[in-house]
Amino acid sequence: MQSFRQRLQQGEVLLSTLVSLPSPEIVELLSKLNFDWLFIDAEHGAFGTLEMQRMLQACKDHIPCLIRVASNDVVAIKHALDIGATGIIVPQINNADEAQVAVRAAKYPSNGNRGVGLARAHEYGLSFGEYLSRADQDTCVVIQAETPGAIDDIENIVRIAEVDAILVGPYDLSANLGYTGEIDHPEVVTAISKVETACKQANVKLGYFGVNAAAVLPYKEKGFTLLTIGVDSLFVLNGAQSLLKEMK
């Protein structure tokens, strides 16, 4: 059976949605649908390590989960992987040196400097040797391109061997370029195009987030394959607003 990382590297279109609320029940519900993976947002969500672990346990490993860590921090990355995440998404990367820090934190020696310990990912020791034998080849590292520095240094970032995908964060990117929320501003579009070109030249996969299908489909047509559509909180709000509108 292919790992999620193998599916990503082979260019399969992989659909997810973003989980922003620390609710195991939400993850459990979403895991019963036909998403290819779930995006657990520990950057903006009110998640501690235990809450994230409970969410991974709720889906019973039926679906791969990538955790967006709060920052490019060695301990945060170690915790996310030790509780059983399939991979990490690292925000606010500014250059290739910072991307290399993230990669090394996600890989065991001698490929990196990930700490070795017993946790849920290793079945608390029961499958320790087996896990270590495949962890580096199965763990996904996704770097976000959402800062001017990342855009300027994107050609060097995509040359890092263990960077599996670049995820464009259009909202933070627009804000960091001085056009908050204007994701169709020409400078934002130009920045995204630069990322697209660099990734395709280096055969690094492209990811994109949008709040609805209309926002994401154009990027799917451009060859972006690691796609996140919608947010759990918006599903609740939109559904409730639609119901109220019908009733009133």
pLDDT (tens digit per residue) in 180-239? 999 999 999 999 999 999 999 999 999 999 999 999 999 999 999 999 999 999 999 999
Mean pLDDT rounded to a whole number for the chain: 97
pTM of the model: 0.96
Q: If you average pLDDT over residues 157-168, what whole number do you get? A: 97
Q: Which two tokens stand for residue 190?
A: 């130009």
Q: Which two tokens stand for residue 23?
A: 């609710």
**122 an active-site residue?**
no
Residue that the structure tokens 């697209």 belong to = 196
Q: If you average pLDDT over residues 92-108, what whole number do you get? A: 98
State the distance between the two ends of the chain, measured CA to CA, in whole angstroms: 51
Residue 61 has pLDDT above 90, yes or no: no
Alpha helices in the chain (DSSP H): 4-9, 24-31, 49-58, 74-82, 96-106, 128-138, 148-152, 154-157, 170-176, 186-202, 213-221, 232-247
Q: Is 192 helix (H, G, I), strand (E, B) or coil?
A: helix
Q: Which two tokens stand for residue 111?
A: 């490929």
What confidence tier does 116 reach under pLDDT thresholds 50, 70, 90? very high
Q: If you average pLDDT over residues 133-146, what whole number do you get? A: 97
Q: If you average pLDDT over residues 110-138, what whole number do you get? A: 95
User: Which pLDDT value is given to residue 1?
Assistant: 81
User: Which pLDDT value is given to residue 120?
Assistant: 97
Catalytic residue among 44, 62, 79, 122: 44
User: Which pLDDT value is given to residue 70?
Assistant: 97
The answer to whether the beta carbons of residues 227 and 13 sit under 8 Å apart is: yes
Q: If you average pLDDT over residues 129-149, what whole number do you get? A: 97
Q: If you average pLDDT over residues 88-112, what whole number do you get? A: 97
User: Which pLDDT value is given to residue 108?
Assistant: 97
pLDDT exceeding 90 applies to what percent of the chain? 98
Q: If you average pLDDT over residues 89-93, what whole number do you get? A: 97
Containing 15, the helix (H) or strand (E) segment is strand 14-19
User: Which pLDDT value is given to residue 60?
Assistant: 86
